[in-house]
Chains A and B, each alone.
Chain A
Amino acid sequence: MAFDAQPTRKFNVVGTRVTRPDGVDKVTGKAAYGADISAPGMLHGRILRSPHAHARIVSIDTSEAEKLAGVKAVVTGADLAMPEDADFADVAINCLARDKALYDGHAVAAVAATSKAIAKQAIRLIKVEYDPLPHVTDVDAAMKPDAPVVQEGRALENVPAGMSQNVTTYCKFGHGDLDAGFAKADKIIERSFKTAATHQGYIEPQACMASLGNDGRGEVWCCTQGQYMVRANCAAALGVEESQLRITASEIGGGFGGKTSTFIEPVALALSRKSGKPVKIVMTRDEVLKATGPTISSSMDIKIGMTKDGRITAARGELRYSGGAYPNFTVEMGAQAAFAAYDLEAVETIGWNAMTNRPKEIPYRAPGAPTAIYAVESVVDELCQELGLDPLDVRLMNAADKGTLSSYGPTFNDIGLVATLEAAKAHPHYTAPLSENQGRGLSCGFWFNFGGNTCVSLNINDDGTVGVVEGNPDIGGSRASISMMAAEELGVPYDKVRTVIADTSSLGFNDITDGSRVTFAVGLATIEAARAAIKEMCRRVAKIWDIDEDAVIWEDGCAKPAGPNAGTHPPMTLAEIAAIAGNTGGPIAGHHEVNADGAGVSFGVHLCDTEVDPETGAVKILRYTVFQDAGKAVHPDYVEGQMQGGAVQGIGWALNEEYIYGEDGRLQNAAFLDYRIPVASDLPPIETVILEIPNPGHPYGVRGVGETPIVPPLAAIANAVSRAANVRLTELPMSPPRVLKAITG
């Protein structure tokens, strides 16, 4: 759908900072999240997890647990169906293991009991006989031909023969003559990087309440980024039809991609089917860290050639990602994103995914991009240092722009990278003085953004108010943005519109809340639904006025005669039209269904000042500024919020957060005390500069904003720390011991 041909459209509602509709409930404790509802007769579910990194499950004896008073059902993998589709099968096997436990924390059995305490006691009575197998948790080790094999027969056809069976994915992107390009360079730098897996770290653990009768009809209440995704996964894992499952998304306490999969809902449904009672499962933080989430861990080689005046002549990257114990395609996105910020004559990126005995990777904000871009932007920064060039000027000289053949194939349309870089250059932060042990780093970031399948219904109520029904859980204020776009299009005040999120039985299919798609795609569908309703209202008014349909226009929330030839009818407001809808043909509504494309890629630039303590290796972030092209910022507060939140998650990734595995393949830091996410006292204010380069694929020019902000921090901070410490850091996180080691050599 094209950008409206109204170059200087004046917005009345869009671009203002209205109060969100779900706000009062959220500041008073009334909002109902995943764990906040209960049902009469409800049982409590609890899951038994593997203590082994890799083990054959010889037998599971549940008889003692079943005998415990208060236990109403026990289930194992045998109680779930085995879906034919490989993705559904992976989800089902991840919910409850079959013949093998694939990682420390893999679910193997579950109970439902009349109290949490009994459920906890009961899982200890389940006897699982394991036959431990050799394990591998490091991506480079997993790629060795003699590595322990996590799963057999999962490699894609294009993976070369002779590699470890752990290698499941191979991909390659790029164009141009690399050898000729490197030959033109005055300086070539080649470096290897490693990054640890991190977790989305949403504060609300996964939680659900589920009920499934022996008639195959079921209900689920859960915190998820996609109720339709939960429905599909549950239907496949339980062997029931989608139409029989009604999934309601609760308020969601953070997701960042981490709630785009299913871990407990099929288990709760299986327990409910067996016990005949509703079953609630709430994960503990330990379970969240051990068995949901994390990102990929990575090992990467980057080689870039540059002329002495700063032009990049050739670039090559090789990415080795591990997405845990299952095949995974995140490396493809990393390989595509790696060099996207640059206009390059010769570029090649190769990607591999290798399975390890770690939990199944689940997307985390711009999955695959932060690590790849960290490595690329580190090498670009080092080249600037070596050649004595200004890092912003070098980025500007090589920046991708409209018409650039991107490193991953498509040619860019209108993009905001150059404007974003120029804004960074003009900002006082860029020239502020620095002291001893301090360094300034910068990085570009990129994300594709996504549109996807979307349904919206918009109802004109008889009192002149408007109801919007959409199907995407609101993870950071999107109901406000959707209401704003509906109000804008209809010409009514924002507070006349209420947007609600439908359950799976009340609206057609919607893709999950991912890919920074909601404000873009749901917004687009809302605008179209509003236009459909407007068309109908104009038709009704044309009937009343007894003139041609085309002779009625919609302006400022009213139907008006199009011109003098249409007669001199006084305008009719939306409320007036709604009040008599019953007499003009019945209720008035608009709806729109679309598989939206044209999401419009997004770029950001982050500037960061750090101070490194040479005695301890501790890094302090002194100042941080985020510049990002948001397209039209519908609600600037929440756009800034995305920019700030993403930046701080990136700060955690760069400095503290990591999955630490022991020799035994077990996760050693499955608690917030040891898996340390940034706290308020770690941070300075996060300054933001929003640029609004309209996205040509949206009627108001909206682009997704949620993911790009987590991409630049890793390199921005690594570059700042490397400059402050006078030594190039090549491994994340840059925890104090690691920085100290780099300084002291």
Chain B
Amino acid sequence: MKTIPVATTINGDETEFLCHADESLLDVLRDRLGLTGAKEGCGTGDCGACSVMMNGRLVCSCLVLGVETEGAEIETIEGMAKGDTLHPLQRVFLEEAALQCGICTPGILVAAKALLEKNPDPTDTEVRYWLAGNLCRCTGYDKIIKAVQTAAAEMRGA
């Protein structure tokens, strides 16, 4: 099978890659570009570990084809911190121990950031429903919800 050239922007950097027509964006990120922050927990859109932003929308990168990203803007966990400054969500997740094994964490951070950009002051229930597509098997979600709310308050300047 021939590969297809694709030009995208990933975390602000123009990026070109070759991929097969049936290759997922997740495989492209992980196997071709070395961006292994997005994880594959299922490959079927059920766990959210592969969450990335594509043109401002939260997507499961395992359900997007690499070739679909021609001309797109992709944001991954690798682009969330600015230099050595963590995003408030990243910092609060650490401070409030909102991760145990950490495998779900990149996906949850990307999803939570997307939520707060849309809705800077969500209720707990809104956070829980927004994150319902991101499985975490370790934490029982309690500290994750609290950390998202702490970061949200901080980002609102509350």
* Interface residues in chain A, defined as those with a beta carbon under 8 Å from any beta carbon in chain B: 17, 19-20, 22-24, 26-33, 35-36, 38, 116-117, 200-205, 251-256, 282, 284-285, 475-477, 635, 637-638, 640-641, 644-649, 671-673, 677-683, 685-686
B77 contacts across to A, CB distance below 8 A: 28-29
Q: Are B80 and A644 in contact (CB under 8 A)?
A: no
Report the minimal beta-carbon distance from B111 to chain A, rounded to whole angstroms: 10
Which residues in window 80-109 of B have CB below 8 A to A? 80-81, 86, 90-91, 93-97, 99-106, 109
Distance between Cα atoms of A686 and B36 in the complex (Å)? 32
A27-B41 contact in complex given A203-B49, A672-B46, C-beta closer than 8 Å: no
A282 contacts across to B, CB distance below 8 A: 40
Q: Are B99 and A29 in contact (CB under 8 A)?
A: no
Distance between Cα atoms of A204 and B100 in the complex (Å)? 13
Distance between Cα atoms of A641 and B139 in the complex (Å)? 6
Chain B residue with minimal CB distance to A636? B97
Q: Are B36 and A645 in contact (CB under 8 A)?
A: no
B96 contacts across to A, CB distance below 8 A: 637
B46 contacts across to A, CB distance below 8 A: 285, 671-673
Known: A475-B100, A476-B100, A476-B138. 9 other contacts (CB 8 A): A27-B109, A29-B35, A33-B39, A35-B30, A202-B101, A203-B136, A253-B39, A645-B139, A672-B44
Distance between Cα atoms of A477 and B97 in the complex (Å)? 9
B93 contacts across to A, CB distance below 8 A: 27
Distance between Cα atoms of A36 and B96 in the complex (Å)? 26
Q: Count the B residues whose beta carbon is within 8 Å of the partner chain — how many?
A: 61
B97 contacts across to A, CB distance below 8 A: 17, 20, 477, 635, 637-638, 640-641
Map CB proximity to A onto B42-84 as digits: 1 under 8 Å, 0 otherwise: 1110110100000000000000000000000000111011000
Q: Are A680 and B1 in contact (CB under 8 A)?
A: no
A205 contacts across to B, CB distance below 8 A: 40-41
Report the minimal beta-carbon distance from A287 to chain B, rounded to whole angstroms: 11
Sample (23) of A-B pairs whose CB atoms are under 8 Å apart: A23-B94, A27-B90, A27-B93, A29-B76, A29-B80, A31-B102, A36-B36, A203-B49, A203-B136, A252-B101, A254-B103, A285-B47, A637-B97, A637-B143, A648-B141, A649-B140, A672-B47, A673-B46, A678-B140, A679-B133, A681-B128, A683-B141, A685-B145
B8 contacts across to A, CB distance below 8 A: none
* Interface residues in chain B, defined as those with a beta carbon under 8 Å from any beta carbon in chain A: 1, 20, 22, 27, 30-31, 35-44, 46-47, 49, 76-78, 80-81, 86, 90-91, 93-97, 99-106, 109, 124-125, 127-129, 131-145
A30 contacts across to B, CB distance below 8 A: 37
A200 contacts across to B, CB distance below 8 A: 137
Report the minimal beta-carbon distance from A606 to chain B, rounded to whole angstroms: 12
A647-B140 contact in complex given A27-B99, A28-B81, A638-B100, C-beta closer than 8 Å: yes
For the complex of A and B, list the 4 residue pairs with the smallest distance between their C-beta atoms, beginning with the closest: A29-B37, A253-B103, A648-B140, A26-B102
**In the complex, which of the residues B27, B36, B137 has the most CB atoms of chain A within 10 Å of its own CB atom?**
B137
Report the minimal beta-carbon distance from B78 to chain A, rounded to whole angstroms: 5
Distance between Cα atoms of A673 and B47 in the complex (Å)? 9
A648 contacts across to B, CB distance below 8 A: 139-141
Q: Are B131 and A19 in contact (CB under 8 A)?
A: no
Distance between Cα atoms of A624 and B97 in the complex (Å)? 20
B43 contacts across to A, CB distance below 8 A: 284-285
Report the minimal beta-carbon distance from B120 to chain A, rounded to whole angstroms: 19
Interchain CB contact (< 8 A) of A645 among B80, B127, B140 = B140
Report the minimal beta-carbon distance from B42 to chain A, rounded to whole angstroms: 4
A256 contacts across to B, CB distance below 8 A: 137
Interchain CB contact (< 8 A) of A203 among B41, B80, B129, B143 = B41
A673 contacts across to B, CB distance below 8 A: 44, 46
Q: Are B132 and A681 in contact (CB under 8 A)?
A: yes
Report the minimal beta-carbon distance from A363 to chain B, rounded to whole angstroms: 15
Q: Are B101 and A29 in contact (CB under 8 A)?
A: no
Distance between Cα atoms of A648 and B36 in the complex (Å)? 28
Chain B residue with minimal CB distance to A649? B137
A254-B138 contact in complex given A637-B143, A638-B97, A681-B132, C-beta closer than 8 Å: yes
Distance between Cα atoms of A645 and B137 in the complex (Å)? 7
A29-B38 contact in complex given A252-B101, A253-B101, A644-B142, C-beta closer than 8 Å: yes
Report the minimal beta-carbon distance from B47 to chain A, rounded to whole angstroms: 6
**In the complex, which of the residues B80, B136, B144 has the most CB atoms of chain A within 10 Å of its own CB atom?**
B136
A29-B106 contact in complex given A638-B97, A672-B47, A686-B140, C-beta closer than 8 Å: yes
Chain A residue with minimal CB distance to B97? A637
A680-B134 contact in complex given A205-B41, A671-B44, C-beta closer than 8 Å: yes
Distance between Cα atoms of A22 and B97 in the complex (Å)? 12
